[in-house]
Structure 1
Amino acid sequence: MTDTRPLDARRAIDARALYDHLTGNGSRFLRVGELLTAGAEAAPELLPDAQTLAAEAARPLSAKTGVEMAQALFLQAIFADRARGLHLCHAMQLPRPEAAANAARLARDGVLDLGLVRVERHGRLLVVENRNAGRLNAEDVPTIDALEHAVDAALLDEESTACILRGGVVDHPRYAGRRLAGAGLNLTDLYEGRVPYVMYIEREMGWVAKVFRGLAAPDRLPDELAETREKAWIGVIDGFAIGAATQALLVCDAVVAEAGSWFNVPARKEGLVPGCTNLRLPRIMGDRLARQIIMNGRTIRVDEPEARLLIDRVAEPDGLETAIDEVAADLVDGGVVSIAGNRRAFRVAQEPLDLFRAYLATYTREVAVCHLSPALVANLERHWTGRKARG
């Protein structure tokens, strides 16, 4: 049975001392994955090593031994400490090493094709498109990685004023030739054991956080006083947005939806904590409705009155492109400088960086408890693999 108890005081102190050692007392930045790898090499009594994690990765979800719980408890200890937790948030908000080269390719070609994600210039707009076509634009490890590279390049781009976040055309037989916002987390990968614990954390702190907070500079904590590099983001719902695809809309400045589309966050059926949805959805749609969506599995259709709490504009399919362009134009009419300033001002009131850090101190452990629970396997077999078997 996996030990899910929080670290005792002694081991929490050890975790924080290890963080100080690995980061040179905060003088070096390590991303979450890099931190866990380096930590395992330096202190194998605290964190599982690469060989142990490779063996765990080869097991289906039902056969996991729970070694990743040590990673969760280590991260919880770091995020529970304000200075170290903010330092790790800072590390994750920096551009990836490949960002400058990717931005140069985008500037030169007007397009950045990363395979599963594509960035394309349309005048002063950039379209960041999830193209995981065979999986209904679901999010998995390679797609999440590609999305972060895409967001980095989009934010570094000098010629654009706003970004459109959208799902591409899929090739699933049921929806062939249609755009879809996204089917959420790839549940097949989850059930078959191909979703590592660290993916949950790097997603929330990586591309999603960068859409919400922009890119940081290494010499300044990216709190609400800092000049982060950011732009307006417009999310689009084509067809449906499930789970992670809905979560992404919560960090956008505006949302445009296709008439007849819908969105949900089926956390109850999946048996997971849905990222930062619990932090963001209540302030956007209200606490009671947020609980209905997260805990009761309520689906919201865009023609329902409640949908307007999230959706700025609904358009028929033949008018959707025009609606997106008009919403984007309205949003950036005052210029990029005022957009960035207003975004920072909203974050002061709604979700300052330290609140995000505190949320992560809970989320890092709770999502691991769910991820390693037999109940998650049972939920997937009841709601996902059983549904697939029935066709």
Structure 2
Amino acid sequence: MPAQLATAVATVERWAATAPELGGDFTADSTAATAYWGRGTELLADLPDRPERTPEQQALARAVHTAGRRLRRGFVHRHGDRLHDELTDGGRALARLPELAYGAAELVPGLTPGRETVAAELTHSQPAKEGWEADQGVLFWGLLRSARSGGRIQRAMLRPTSRAQRLLPGFRRSGTADLGVVTLDRRGTAGHITVRNLSCLNAEDNTLAEDLETAVDLVLLDDDLKVGVVRGAPMTHPRYLDRRVFNAGINLTDLYHGRISLVDFLLRRELGYISKIIHGLDVTDPAEGPDPAVPEVREKPWIAAVDTFAIGGGMQLALAFDHVVADPAAYFSLPAVQEGIIPGAANFRLSRILGPRLARQVILGGRKIHATDPEARLLCDEVVETERIDAAVDAAADWLQAPSVVSNRRMLNLVDEPLGQFREYLARFALEQSERLYAEDVMEILERTWIKRGGRG
């Protein structure tokens, strides 16, 4: 081993051995931990940027991150509730994920990356990133695993977004909203959300997460709407020209370029619009305090129309709907294992829906389920020819407006997807997915995919 490298290894080992013992005092532990993390950041700064590191230097960087995250896990395990209280005035302020992530970075420096650090990371491709977002995964593991702070985060994420509240009066007047890559139209008493992320076959990214959550909020807030519908727009891609596509999963081009955010996409979609489709909007009066006995929730039934395919995140999304209408040529798949990542909350829901053996075939083995397969009856309620999909959606929207539907779906979801169990799953998901995003095999997969696609994006 070269002398310079040996010296660096010894320095990292000495630093790792100085990790403070955490006690019960939040302030004292914050001070000691911040000093330790600060020294770790200095050690990383002494190394070249990730793309220029030798394998030995990258191993050193991993050792620094591993030691730092070990202390972060201990800190949020011990002080997660106190941290959340400090950031939310004892839970009286309902803070969404970004407010918590960046508030924690200011309150306890080194615990999570600040805004400038994350903004700088987003300018690099995923293989070139340092991987600071993984520290955000540790933070949300610590906060979500607690029933108190985690439950308050769920409530905050089920609140209407400020953008939706701002757009609501205009939508009520006009019955239409063009949100960017999503449009919303009132058709009778149904709110039709059309996804048109045309450049990438309706693949999901940060922008789509923002627009889709806004549309879901508007459907749930508008008293004249009784049912929500989601369908993909006709595509402009030559291979799928004028054909509707439901969803192509995560935008791998954006993931390669480092534009997929853990907080603003991967966690937001699960705790935001997908949870709102299942559990509704929390519209409780803030005056009732941080932990109301019976929160006021606004729910509506939802219909998905699946054309062509529901890949990855598309299949994950379809699992959240009350009624799914599919084209006979459509298929469902979850290729996340081939991509090296975790398919959102599919691991939480799929065994219940398909059974454990088939769920493993889909998630671990990459099995596709075609709409005409017998097993597809567990994923979609109707399979109808393309020209009959609109009529099938309209018919479903009519019967789903029965007065007792909302109460019955609420009771079904109480058993099928208890909020506490989902919260515990999301806590572990935050930790595991944030690590997978920077795993060596994922970097290799992204590089190969990018080369195969000829560097388009």
The verdict on a shared fold, with TM-score over 0.5 as the criterion, is yes
In structure 2, do the counterparts of structure 1 residues 366 and 224 end up closer, same or farther at CA, with 3 Å as the change threshold?
farther
Partner of 1:159: 224
Question: Which stretch has the larger CA shift, 305-314 or 315-324?
Answer: 315-324
In structure 2, do the counterparts of structure 1 residues 197 and 232 end up closer, same or farther at CA, with 3 Å as the change threshold?
same
Correspondent of 1:251 among 313, 317, 320: 320
Using the alignment, how far apart are the partners of 1:168 and 1:34 within structure 2? Answer: 33
Q: Which structure shows the bigger proportion of residues in helix conformation?
A: 2
Contact map agreement 1:216 1:222 (CA 8 A) in 2 = no
Using the alignment, how far apart are the partners of 1:188 and 1:21 within structure 2? Answer: 38
In structure 2, do the counterparts of structure 1 residues 353 and 224 end up closer, same or farther at CA, with 3 Å as the change threshold?
farther
Instruction: Please list every run of 5 or more consecutive structure 1 residues that lacks an aligned counterpart in the other structure.
Output: none
Correspondent of 1:275 among 341, 344, 350: 344
Partner of 1:350: 416
Using the alignment, how far apart are the partners of 1:312 and 1:238 within structure 2? Answer: 14
Contact map agreement 1:90 1:222 (CA 8 A) in 2 = no
Q: Deviations over 1:344-372 (max 9, x none)?
A: 10122111111111111111101111111
RMSD: 2.0
In structure 2, do the counterparts of structure 1 residues 243 and 8 end up closer, same or farther at CA, with 3 Å as the change threshold?
closer
Using the alignment, how far apart are the partners of 1:252 and 1:223 within structure 2? Answer: 27
2:360 maps to 1:295: no
Cα offset, 1:226, TM superposition: 4.0
Partner of 2:380: 311
Q: Partner of 2:372: helix, strand, or coil?
A: coil
2:428 maps to 1:362: yes
2:188 maps to 1:123: yes
User: What residue identity is the alignment partner of 1:278?
Assistant: N
Cα offset, 1:297, TM superposition: 0.6
Cα offset, 1:12, TM superposition: 2.8
Q: Partner of 1:174: helix, strand, or coil?
A: helix
Q: Partner of 1:106: helix, strand, or coil?
A: helix
Contact map agreement 1:181 1:241 (CA 8 A) in 2 = yes
Partner of 2:251: 186
Partner of 2:33: none
Cα offset, 1:378, TM superposition: 1.7
- Higher RCO, 1 vs 2 (CA within 8 Å, ≥6 residues apart): 1
In structure 2, do the counterparts of structure 1 residues 345 and 386 end up closer, same or farther at CA, with 3 Å as the change threshold?
same
Instruction: Please list every run of 5 or more consecutive structure 2 residues that lacks an aligned counterpart in the other structure.
Output: 1-61
TM-score (norm 1): 0.94
Correspondent of 1:340 among 399, 406, 423: 406
Q: Partner of 1:260: helix, strand, or coil?
A: coil
User: What residue identity is the alignment partner of 2:218?
Assistant: A
Correspondent of 1:17 among 82, 89, 96: 82
Contact map agreement 1:80 1:361 (CA 8 A) in 2 = yes
Q: Deviations over 1:141-180 (max 9, x none)?
A: 1111011111111101111111111111111111111110
Cα offset, 1:8, TM superposition: 4.4
Q: Partner of 1:357: helix, strand, or coil?
A: helix
2:442 maps to 1:376: yes
Q: Deviations over 1:303-347 (max 9, x none)?
A: 000000111001111211111112222322x22xx2221121012
Q: Partner of 1:194: helix, strand, or coil?
A: coil
Correspondent of 2:205 among 117, 121, 140: 140
2:454 maps to 1:389: yes
Percent identity between the aligned chains?
Answer: 37
Cα offset, 1:80, TM superposition: 1.4
- Equivalence map 1:92-241=2 (5 Å): 92-198=157-263, 199-219=265-285, 226-241=295-310
Q: Partner of 1:118: helix, strand, or coil?
A: strand
2:124 maps to 1:55: no
2:286 maps to 1:286: no
Using the alignment, how far apart are the partners of 1:132 and 1:278 within structure 2? Answer: 26
User: What residue identity is the alignment partner of 2:206?
Assistant: V
User: What residue identity is the alignment partner of 2:299?
Assistant: E
Cα offset, 1:9, TM superposition: 3.4
Larger radius of gyration: 2
